[in-house]
Structure 1
Amino acid sequence: MPDAADAEGLTVGQVSTRLGVTVRALHHWDDIGLARPSLRTAAGYRLYTAGDLERLHRIVIYREIGLGLDRIRAVLDDSAVDVLSALRAQRTQVAQRIERLQQLGAGLDRMVAAHERGLLLTVEQQAAIFGPQWNPDWPAQARQRYGDTTQWQQYAERAASRSPQEWQAIADTIAELDRALGDAVAAGVTPGSPEANQLVERHREAFASYFPLTRQMQVCLGRMYEADPAFAAHFDGIRAGLATWFRQSVDASARAHDIDPDTATWR
């Protein structure tokens, strides 16, 4: 607060140090007429009196609680302004910002958890959505294997905002696709045919629930589905020979889009 020593006036630098505001801010407030020093030295340098300091203290306080400079000017200079109402309105805005920040904090917590865990579902929810064959350790294993990839980051960003109902819809879509693939094998659909190509596209669309899947990446997945014992068992459990049929269908679709399956990479 001002004291008797301030009667002769304080320089801009002294006021800046005392109030914790920048010299640039003091100059700006002077330029716009919000807080002008009452005195000048013979050389033209600004000097702030005790009364000037009192006004500056109020400006700093109002600015810290979020009032804009125009609103501060009105509170200080306009006798028609109800200061208490202005402060209450500002309190409401602060409460709204706090609520918004809390929401952002909760969103960040979910994003961190999704990056760490992959699925923000309880073990019971996972079993109910993905079926009894689902292993709740799979997400952690996937993170250990793919956690440093762009695709895991994309997957986590989607998972962070996904509800159990949305996961159920995705699981239903995948199950329906699996049945359609099995039916295609049973019906003797030939890889490379329009029917097979349509199913390959459905697979890419369904997989986009996790992360964007390029055709080259789909070729790599098709090879893994056939070569990996766990994946092969899953597909062949739907229909004998499905793992190989799907790989062949993906390869045929890739060739139709000028992609050589033999040189396709994960990109």
Structure 2
Amino acid sequence: MGTMLDCTDADGLTVGQVSARLGVTVRALHHWDEIGLARPSLRTAAGYRLYTAGDLERLHRVVVYRELGLALDRIQSILDESTADVLGALRAQRTQVAERLERLQQLGAGLDRMIDAHERGLLLSAEQQAAIFGPQWNPDRHAQARQRYGGTTQWQQYAERSAARGPEEWQAVADAVADLERALADAVDAGVTPGSPEANQLVERHREVFASYFPLSRQMQVCLGRTFEADPGFAAHYDGIRAGLATWLRQSIDASARAHGIDPDTATWQ
């Protein structure tokens, strides 16, 4: 905050001198003058403002209250109204400051969580992951995914969603994935043909479920279908659910894409 200042200049101080002494801008001094908050008592013959010792005392109080966060109109009432409840105004301001501090702390915690999500992907302990995704789940999977996809828009979208999810929300995602995989296995067992209404419905359901991680276009889904079949890890996962499921799912995704005017052979990640 500012300090008490003596004005020993017999003719007063100029705006520039007051600005330097109080650490406020000339523009602010002009504004305070215009609104009647802190007006200079003197003027030179040429019309330039000159501030007296009394003016400086009022300006000092303005600076103090402004640094405490009070609005200019509230400061003016404190300075000009003999009945102004100064203590009440200060207490009200203290309450507002405490509320802002709490909001800032919440914002800081949210930022920390978002940073962790971008760095780690999944904000669950190894024990929580095993309980939700099963004992076969590899807790290092997300670190590997970040190393591979960390610079992509989809990883950023995934991290933003992950930051807002706790164990219950992730359990709902895991349940949706498990239900989908059971339905896919049942379709293979029932001999559902790729491109049939039943298969197309499952492809739509697949896209909806995977969109819980990041927005998934039909072209992106085609690219995922290729990965499910070609990548040894994904292929082993789907074929472990039901023999031939990786290829069936890729074929079904391709057939659905064609029905929507997309050539699977030229589809790109967009």
Give the aligned partner of residue 124 of structure 1: 127
TM-score norm. by structure 1 comes to 0.98
Match of 2:221 among 218, 221, 231: 218
* Letter aligned with residue 176 of structure 1: D
Match of 1:5 among 4, 8, 28: 8
Give the aligned partner of residue 149 of structure 1: 152
Match of 2:71 among 68, 72, 83: 68
2:119 aligned with 1:100, yes or no? no
Root mean square deviation, CA, Å:
0.8
* Letter aligned with residue 113 of structure 2: R
Q: Which runs of structure 2 are paired with 1:148-227 in the superposition (5 Å)?
A: 148-227=151-230
- Alignment check: 8 A CA contact 1:39 1:48 kept: yes
* Letter aligned with residue 212 of structure 1: P
Go from structure 1 to structure 2 and tell me whether the alpha carbon gap of 1:233 and 1:87 turns closer, same or farther (over 3 Å shift).
same
Stretches of structure 2 that go unaligned for 5 or more consecutive residues are none
Stretches of structure 1 that go unaligned for 5 or more consecutive residues are none
Residue by residue over 1:7-57, the C-alpha shift from the partner in whole angstroms, topping out at 9 and shown as x without a partner, is 431111111111111111110110011100000011110001111111111
2:265 alignment partner, SS class: helix
* Letter aligned with residue 24 of structure 1: R
2:200 alignment partner, SS class: helix
Residue by residue over 1:112-165, the C-alpha shift from the partner in whole angstroms, topping out at 9 and shown as x without a partner, is 000000011101101111111110001000000000000000000001111111
TM-score norm. by structure 2 comes to 0.97
Counterpart CA distance in 2 for 1:219 and 1:168 is: 26
2:238 aligned with 1:240, yes or no? no
Percent identity over paired residues:
82
- Alignment check: 8 A CA contact 1:9 1:47 kept: yes
Counterpart CA distance in 2 for 1:87 and 1:188 is: 76
* Letter aligned with residue 119 of structure 1: L
Counterpart CA distance in 2 for 1:199 and 1:6 is: 86
